[in-house]
Amino acid sequence: MSNENQKFPLIGDKFPEMKVQTTHGQVNIPGDYKGKWVVLFSHPADFTPVCTTEFVAFAKRNDKFEELNAKLIGLSIDQVFSHIKWDEWIEEKLDVRIPFPIIADSTGEVAKTIGMVHPGKGSTTVRAVFIIDPNGIIRLIIYYPQEIGRDMDEILRSLKALQISDANGVAVPANWPENELIGDRVIIPPATDVETAKSRVKEYECYDWWFCHKSL
């Protein structure tokens, strides 16, 4: 089946409003989460090894996401009873409770709408991550292949960085908060006129007028 005419949401787009069945009941995304950040992530299938390690990793960091006013939501093309049974298995066998809802996208419509189905992998969902802000805008999208588990600390770092950028009008450097050049400092947006360029180097620490940084 060709995907040529199907438009997936992009960074900066409004996340499409949808009503979904989850292990915590029916919810509207992103409407029911207005005022909160949402980390929506898909996994290929329940009862698979890599996905199990990912769910344990997300669950162990759930409190950290909650501290950042963010809600985790999982998704796969499985029925809700499969999700529930897998939840129970993880808690019974691995002593980890899954505190967040999992969308039961048994028809695959949600995954298709937001580009979570890999055309070369049948009907299973890839490892996609959408970070949605409190206004329902998609701020970050990450895709991993089925064969590689995600780095949840990087997802947490990205969420923190987005919030810091929004709150302070700054950019965040590579590997923040352990950047090789400026450590945990943040970057001032480059000047867009001559006068600002001249004054910028007097106001901040700079490598040049276009690369100035400060502490938060």
Q: Known catalytic residues?
A: 51
Residue pair 114/130 in contact (Cβ under 8 Å)? The answer is: yes
What CA–CA distance (Å, rounded) separates 137 from 12?
Answer: 6
The Cα-based distances of 102 to 10, 71, 195, 206 in angstroms read 22, 12, 53, 46
Which segments of the chain does DSSP mark as H helices, in order? 49-60, 62-67, 80-94, 109-113, 152-168, 194-203
Q: What is the largest distance, in Å, between two alpha-carbon atoms of the chain? A: 64
